[in-house]
Amino acid sequence: MTKNITSSQWYVNDIINKIESKQIIRADCQRKGRWDFLPVSGSETKSNYHDYINFIYKNNDSGQNIILALTIIDNKKIYDIIDGSNRLNAIIEFIKIRLKYILNIWIVIKIYK
């Protein structure tokens, strides 16, 4: 049996939609989330959502690839997360929770003519 390995780029919004519609799921072999939300004092090497989002922003790159396995069930594509669950969680947490909070803050804007 041959495996077809492809590489593609998806928009963050597409990834979030696929997760919410259960098209992307955590594989049974995938461990539960291990990252903290914020850096832990005294542990500069432990991965966390905050540092990962800053890395993406500074480098305009997600770092390591996120690895998914495609299965087709009843003509529906289902992607199992093989590697990258914590990275996906960090992105979703930032977009759906942190950014949502920022978007709901009133900002006073003065316009001079």
Interior CA angle at 65 toward 60 and 66, to 5°? Answer: 110
> Residue 90 domain-assigned?
yes
Domain region containing 71: 12-103
Total domains, the chain: 1
> Residue 40 domain-assigned?
yes
> Residue 82 domain-assigned?
yes
| Minimum mean pLDDT range among 2-11, 66-75, 84-93 | 2-11
> Residue 24 domain-assigned?
yes
Q: Please state, for a pLDDT cut of 90, what percent of the chain lies above it.
A: 12
What is d(CA 50, CA 18) in angstroms, rounded to the nearest whole number?
23
Does residue 23 have a pLDDT over 90?
yes
Read off the tokens for 21.
């519609």
Q: What is the mean pLDDT of the chain?
A: 81
Residues 56-87 pLDDT 10s: 888 888 888 888 888 898 999 999 888 889 99
pTM above 0.85, yes or no: no
Burial label, 12 (beta-carbon count in 10 A; 0-12, 13-18, 19+): middle
> Residue 109 domain-assigned?
no
> Residue 72 domain-assigned?
yes
Cα radius of gyration rounded to whole Å, the chain: 18
Task: Kindly provide the residue ranges of all beta strands, DSSP E only, lying in the chain, ordered along the sequence.
Answer: 24-26, 67-73, 76-83
3-state helix, strand, coil in the chain (%, to 5): 35, 20, 45
The per-residue pLDDT for 22 is 93
Q: Please state, for a pLDDT cut of 70, what percent of the chain lies above it.
A: 79
> Residue 1 domain-assigned?
no
